[in-house]
Structure 1
Amino acid sequence: MNQVTRWRTSSYSGGDNCVEVGRIGGGAAVRDSKDRAAGYFTATAPEWAAFLAAVRGGRYQR
């Protein structure tokens, strides 16, 4: 399994109520900042790019 590097939180997050994203192999890893021990899920680079495009395009508005 690839090692996750450079975990970071969104600049929009407040405190520990958010997710963290890290780099892994050719994609991204995502985990809950409140329960880091629970693990993380991964996305390939194309999957992550498609997700970010959808977010930026307003698909997941509150």
Structure 2
Amino acid sequence: MAKVCDFVDEVSNQCLQWSELKLSWLDELNNLTQAQANEILIQVVGFWLLCWAYKALLIFIDYK
């Protein structure tokens, strides 16, 4: 969660009160780094390949 300053003390230029900024899931996706996006993509493709391998194994076992 991102923090946002609500009130600033003009004399000391310090924040007096913070609040949390609620981001939508689209905003959070937009803030992903390239490395984070690559990691998610690798995990999705890896899961898909694992499911495909299990399906192929089940088909192989069924035919024998």
Q: Establish whether TM, by shorter chain, passes 0.5.
A: no
Give the number of the structure whose residues are more often strand, by fraction: 1
Could you tell me the TM-score, scaled by structure 1's length? 0.31
